[in-house]
C-alpha cells in the first residue's frame, strides 16, 4: 500500500468562501425578527386590537310591576327578567358591525316606596370599550336599542342614559 496521509483542511480561498460566516448572519436574523414584530403590531392595529373610547352608561328600568327586590339587589322580572348584572350591552357602528361589548356590572340604585315594598325604579351601570365610528347603536340585551351620533357622545363625555319600561 502506499503512503497514505490523512486529508488536510483546505486553506484555499475556495474553502474559506464555503465556510459559513456566522457574524454576517446575525444582522439578518435581527432584521427578520424585527420585521415579524412590526407585521404583528400592524395586524393588531388594523384588526381593532385597541379600542378608541370607553363608553359608560346607566340603564333605568321604570316599571313597578316588573321589578323584584330593592336597593342594590333589584332586578327585572316578567318581560325584563334578564335586566340586572351580567346583562350584555353590544355597540354597533352605523353599518351594523359590532365595535364593542360590555356587561352590566352592578345596580347603582333603586327607588322603593315608603312602605318597604318592591322598587319602582332599578338602575344598572355598564362599560364597553368601543372603536371609532361616526354613529353608534347601543343594544341593551334584547330589551332596548338606542342610536347616538359621535358628537353627542363626545359632548356627554362618552356616557349614555337609557330608560326602559
The radius of gyration computed from the CA coordinates of the chain, to the nearest angstrom, equals 32
pLDDT digits (tens, 9 = 90+) for 80-97: 999 888 899 999 999 999
Q: What angle do CA 130, 133, 135 make, to 5 degrees?
A: 105
pLDDT for position 151: 95
Rounded average pLDDT over 129-158: 94
Instruction: Give the sign of the dihedral formed by CA 112, CA 108, CA 127, CA 153.
Output: positive
pLDDT for position 149: 95
Query: Which residues in the chain belong to E strands, given as ranges?
Result: 53-61, 67-68, 75-76, 88-93, 98-111, 121-130, 135-140, 144-149, 159-164
Cα torsion for 76, 81, 83, 85, to the nearest 10°?
100
Of 6-10, 103-107, 123-127, 150-154, the poorest mean pLDDT is in: 6-10
Threshold 0.75, pTM exceeds: no
Amino acid at each position: 500500500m502506499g503512503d497514505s496521509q490523512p486529508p488536510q483542511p483546505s486553506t484555499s480561498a475556495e474553502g474559506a468562501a464555503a465556510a459559513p460566516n456566522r457574524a454576517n448572519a446575525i444582522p439578518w436574523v435581527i432584521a427578520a425578527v424585527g420585521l415579524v414584530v412590526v407585521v404583528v403590531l400592524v395586524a393588531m392595529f388594523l384588526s381593532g386590537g385597541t379600542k378608541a373610547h370607553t363608553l359608560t352608561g346607566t340603564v333605568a328600568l321604570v316599571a313597578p310591576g316588573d321589578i323584584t327586590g330593592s336597593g342594590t339587589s333589584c332586578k327585572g322580572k316578567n318581560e325584563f327578567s334578564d335586566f340586572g348584572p351580567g346583562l350584555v350591552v353590544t355597540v354597533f357602528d352605523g353599518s351594523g358591525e359590532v365595535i364593542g361589548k360590555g356587561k352590566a356590572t352592578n345596580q347603582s340604585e333603586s327607588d322603593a316606596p315608603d312602605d318597604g315594598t318592591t322598587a319602582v325604579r332599578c338602575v344598572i351601570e355598564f362599560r364597553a370599550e368601543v372603536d371609532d365610528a361616526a354613529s353608534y347603536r347601543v343594544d341593551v340585551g334584547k330589551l332596548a336599542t338606542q342610536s347616538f351620533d359621535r358628537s353627542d357622545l363626545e359632548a356627554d363625555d362618552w356616557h349614555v342614559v337609557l330608560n326602559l319600561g
